Structure 1
Amino acid sequence: MDATMGGVHAPTTSTELRLHNLTRLLRAVHAGGGELTRSQLTRELGLARGTATVLVSELAAAEMVLERPPADRPRGRPTHLVGPHPRGPVALAADLREDSWSITAAALGGASETLECRHHTAGLATDVLAELSGALRRRMAELDGRVVGIGISVPASVRDGRVVDAVHLGWHDVDLVSLLRLDGHPLVRLGNDATLAALAEARRGALRGVGLGLHLHVSLGVGGALVVGGRPLTGARGMAGEFGHLPLAGDPGQACACGSRGCWDLDVGANALIRHLGQDIPVDRRLDHAERLIALAADGDPASGRAVEIIARAFGRGIGALVNAHDPEAVTLSGLGARLYEAAPQTVTAGCEEALMAFRRQSPAVITASHLGAAAPRIGTAEMVFDAFLTAEGLRTWRTHRITSA
């Protein structure tokens, strides 16, 4: 995207060139977590020192960035970090789960704060989304014009702002963006939770700088994405990464709620763990309950321990199959997947090695539990919003708004 103005055409006028460089600078500030100095940004972007000074000054005047001295100021010529302005742009990230939703505010550079969390009982989409919409509107009002976009993460297959299939919520073909009724805010984006977790891992986690990686996010079932050059592959229709619905289950004839049979979801995730123990837990309580079961297993509870071992082995075997198919450099795990790996690393690894082709066992892909944890989908959601905002058009709109409201 850096080679074009918002992906449309290369800059041809001095005004377009300035906007192009301002956008490049902002993207670099964001990617660097607000921890790069003006000198580092100048070198990274290949700018003249005077040009960089003018650009940073212009962004500071628009209340997008703020220069500050580093905590450990080096000797010699003083240098300043270029980070987010305290009144700068904010992305709102709503993480809608099967049992709850949360709203997080993320600033340029990636720093974020969770503003609100609410439990919900899975039911009609209109009821759940009405409550979420009200909360988003309140948060936008509190942030007083700083919100540049809203992102929604959902545990569902999504396409063109619609939930195509949310198996565990019981939602099918739901126009989620329209139901939120956030009219007047042009930048609203919807994404699959596992794909957004993969985006977070590529930008802020262990897949940063990895040419080809595999990310798996486990909640009630399994999803994820293949990450190539820092971007999750979303497929021709935006619905790739439904790894949980590959026919990898131990019982190929068992029916899955998605309409297929023998899905990997049947053997991995909160649903499978609870089912192995013969328990009947409502959908809106299963994730929390699965976390408790893994904790019980770690404390030595025999029944929970056996169930975790069974799930971990099935998880590992599926990872091995995906490594055979995609040949990733690294595999990262978030959500319940990270918890399973931390609880039974040897079992997951053994299951993976069983499924690997013989030649791959000599140098298997490294499996890593994400340090982003449960926050991965909402971090990825904020990144999705900033990807859409940090363009020449987004910058032009922000600067116009700042001039108008001054």
Structure 2
Amino acid sequence: MPIVTGATTSAELRAHNRARLLRAVHDGGAGRTRSQLTKDLDLSRGAASVLVGGLVADGLLHEEPTAEHSRGRPTQIPGPHPRGPIALAVDLREDGWDLAACELGGRTTLLAARPHDGTPEGAFGPLGHALGTHLQRYGSRAVGIGLAVPGPVREGRLVDVSHLGWRAVDAPALLMEGGLPLHVGNDTACAALAEARRGRLAGVHVGLHLHVDFDLGGVLVVGGRPLDGASGVGAEFGHMPLTGGTTPCACGATGCWGMDVGSNALLRRLGLAAGGGKGRDQARAILAKSAQGDPAAREAVLSGARALGRGIAALVNAHDPEIVTLSGLGVELHGQGRQVLEEAFLGGLMTIRGDRPPELAASELAWGGALLGAMESVFDAFLTPAGLSTWHAPS
């Protein structure tokens, strides 16, 4: 096995390489063969065999032969054990939540999807009950809970959602999740993390990710990690005055970019009530009418795309990313208003940026990024020597 900085004993080296191997299986979507993993991790065949054998015995991995037929012994693909670790992931939005179980490798199974009434108790109470039910179901297989929320998160637990009037809502206290590690993160930061692991930002050194829902969030991703700021409340590019607006925002600032981009902006442009986590179906109807050629709906969508492009230009001038990715409603704004979006983007770039502008790319994860990012936050903590030391294979 290779010498690893920080490992001073054979036991520490073994623990580190177990974590490395599991991390590689997870990041590769449980699709790489044992021989590929052995090469990628610079392990000897014997060391890899011992590591995989131990992980199988501990209920962390299970091997399946590849579908390809070749002479000799079939090549094995390490993947999730049938009784292996489960991350519970939650995407909490302003009007509902999704709960999923996620295996090593990233495969997810939706367990529940519910609307809520916009109050902390109405959102977290039923969610906590659902979590308790599934924690009983999975028992010791559950290794953590990842929770993506539509607003800033302070101290890893205090949630602010300005459109719902939430201020310093203590998520762990309301969930009463039963002692498992709980990882609470901003939904945009979670979507960006997923994009860096399983999307267009994989392998990108400096990227910019924007997630559009009722309004807009954005975060810079450096070396595969969203930058969360000195106090942990980054991913708030939507609250920058990038488009020259003067409308007061529920966050307390004036002229926020997010006031011009997202579902709420579509509703306001057509004279409909917006805010309070309501109107998602109406916004989708506007998008559908726009796609069918309705003039008013079309102009609302193009206005949103234009505002999105202008703001992106400002951020690109400031941060010089290699690529800009869009998730959530950003995918639909990019699809329906691509020409207008790109014209506004290119028109706002400095000359030196315009010579080689970064690509604007719709995320293939679409609306699923926040949930996948919540999963990744759990496995990031578990797939370490310290995290794995807490694992006890179910009997």
Q: Which TM-score band applies after superposition, normalised by the shorter structure?
A: over 0.9
Q: Deviations over 1:183-207 (max 9, x none)?
A: 332x111000000000000000000
Map 1:50-89 → 2, pairs under 5 A: 50-74=46-70, 77-89=73-85
Query: Contact 1:156/1:163 (CA < 8 Å) preserved in 2?
Result: no
Equivalent residue for 2:377, pick from 384, 387, 395: 384
Q: CA deviation at 1:3?
A: 9.0
Q: CA deviation at 1:326?
A: 0.6
AA at the equivalent of 1:37 = T
> Which of 338, 346, 349 is the aligned partner of 2:339?
346
| Contact 2:264/2:274 (8 A) holds in 1 | no
Counterpart CA distance in 2 for 1:209 and 1:355 is 27
2:24 to 22, 28, 33: 28
Indicate yes or no: 2:105 matched with 1:109.
Answer: yes
Mapped pair 1:202 → 2:203 = no
Distance 1:73 1:235, change over 3 A: farther
Whether contact under 8 Å (2:325, 2:360) holds in the other structure is yes
Letter in 2 for 1:169: L
1:241 to 230, 235, 240: 235
Deviation at 1:313, TM superposition (A): 0.4
**CA distance in 1 between partners of 2:111 and 2:282 (Å):** 24
Is the 8 Å Cα contact of residues 158 and 238 (structure 1) preserved in structure 2? yes
The runs of at least 4 aligned residues of structure 1 exceeding 4 Å deviation read 74-77
State the SS of the aligned residue for 1:285.
coil
SS in 1 for 2:368: helix
- CA distance in structure 2 between the partners assigned to 1:81 and 1:202 by the alignment: 24
Q: Identity, % of aligned pairs?
A: 51
- Aligned partner of 1:259 among 238, 242, 252: 252
Structure 1 position 96 matched with structure 2 position 96:
no
**2:354 matched to 1:361?**
yes
CA distance in 2, matches of 1:17, 1:53: 16
2:247 touches 2:255 (CA, 8 Å); kept in 1?
Answer: yes
The whole-number CA distance in structure 2 between the counterparts of 1:281 and 1:164 is 22
Q: Which residue is equivalent to 1:46?
A: 42
Instruction: Judge conservation of contact 2:268–2:274 (CA < 8 Å) in 1.
Output: no
Q: Where does residue 147 of structure 2 map in the other structure?
A: 152
CA RMSD in angstroms comes to: 1.6
What amino acid is aligned across from residue 101 of structure 1 in structure 2? W
Q: Residue 276 of structure 1 corresponds to which residue in structure 2?
A: 269
**For residues 199-348 of structure 1, what are the structure 2 equivalents within 5 Å?**
199-251=193-245, 253-281=246-274, 283-348=276-341
Whether the aligned pair in 2 keeps the contact of 1:338 and 1:373 (CA below 8 Å) is: yes
1:393 aligns with 2:389: no
CA gap of 1:282–1:260, structure 2 versus 1, over 3 A, is: closer
- Pairing partner for 1:184 from 169, 179, 188: 179
Contact 1:99 1:120 in 2 (8 A): yes
Unaligned runs of 5+ in 1: none
Q: 1:140 and 2:131 equivalent?
A: no
TM normalised by structure 2 equals 0.96
Aligned partners of 2:383, 2:3: CA distance in 1, in Å? Answer: 14
Assess, with a 3 A threshold, how the Cα gap between structure 1 residues 256 and 57 changes in structure 2: closer, same or farther.
same
Q: How many residues align structurally?
A: 394
